[in-house]
Amino acid sequence: MNENNNIISMDTPENLLQELLKKGAQQLLAQAIEAELAIDDGALDFWNAITKVWPTTLHQRCWVHKTANILNKVPKSLQPKIKSRLQDIWMAKELIHQI
């Protein structure tokens, strides 16, 4: 947080997390530290920051972003079928159903 104008620096995700820790978000971030899993859109800088700040937290890619990226790589004619099958995977109650 800049002392002159109270703006949190967001030049890197790691700096953002570190500044939040220093400037009074300890209680909020302490709860996040206990999280076993962090889900994000795949931004590598954020994943790297999470790893540095909370080294034991596991990572998972957001299914919405994952699905969109996959669908962008296949012909439009196949997209509805592939989207449906991807939804079947992430909505499965048990992993065994998708193997």
Burial class (CB in 10 A: 0-12, 13-18, 19+), 93: exposed
- For residue 5, the model assigns a pLDDT of 46
Does pLDDT of 31 surpass 50? yes
Calculate the alpha carbon distances from 46 to 15, 39, 93 in Å.
10, 10, 29
79 CB-near residues (< 8 Å, 6+ apart): 71
pLDDT of residue 10: 58
For residue 90, the SS3 value is helix
Residue 16: its pLDDT value, please? Answer: 76
pTM of the model: 0.54
Over residues 39-89, the pLDDT tens digits come to 888 777 778 888 887 788 888 888 898 999 999 999 999 999 999 999 988
